[in-house]
Amino acid sequence: TIAQEVYNKLCFEYDSCCFLANIREDSGRHGIFSLKKKLFSTLLGEEHLKVDISNGWQKLVDRRLHRLKVLIILDDVDDSEQLEILARTTWFGSGSRIIVTTRDKQVLAKEFANVYQVEALNFDESLRLFNLNAFKRKHLQAEYQELSEKVVDY
């Protein structure tokens, strides 16, 4: 959620933007190179990008992506190899930013130097978030209050 909000607020400052959600799940399902193709297609605004994986990626990067200031958000990365395949900082133009969300700090490559640790919500914030997601409202009816508090406490 935080990454999506950051994306929404910053995207207009860049030549091109891409938010790839659920990297862990999608790479297992479709393969990491399908995600790379989706990333490059989105950044270049070409829906059906055709690039030879063996040697075409580097040419594409050198000719087109290296000129762009991009914002990329990679959500739920669980393997450092995913970062290596999807987003090397040298591929993109000056001022580009790559934001990675992960459950494991060990996944982050050395080049990803700035780490922001998200703190846990307090009980009231957790209850409010639960209500927004479960009931689509900030405050709920009294009959669900006790049950909601038990769920959040658990």
What SS3 state is found at 113? coil
Q: Is the pLDDT of residue 80 over 60?
A: yes
Distance separating alpha carbons of residues 59 and 17, to the nearest angstrom: 20
For residue 114, name the pLDDT band (cuts at 50, 70, 90): confident
**pLDDT single digits (tens) 31-79:** 888 898 889 889 888 777 666 555 556 666 667 788 899 999 999 998 8
Domains of the chain, start order: 2-107 (3.40.50.300), 123-153 (no CATH)
Q: Is the pLDDT of residue 20 over 80?
A: yes
- Which has the minimum average pLDDT: 51-60, 90-99, 106-115? 51-60
DSSP for 53-68? Answer: TTTHHHHHHHHTGGG-
> Residues 138, 132: contact at Cβ < 8 Å?
yes
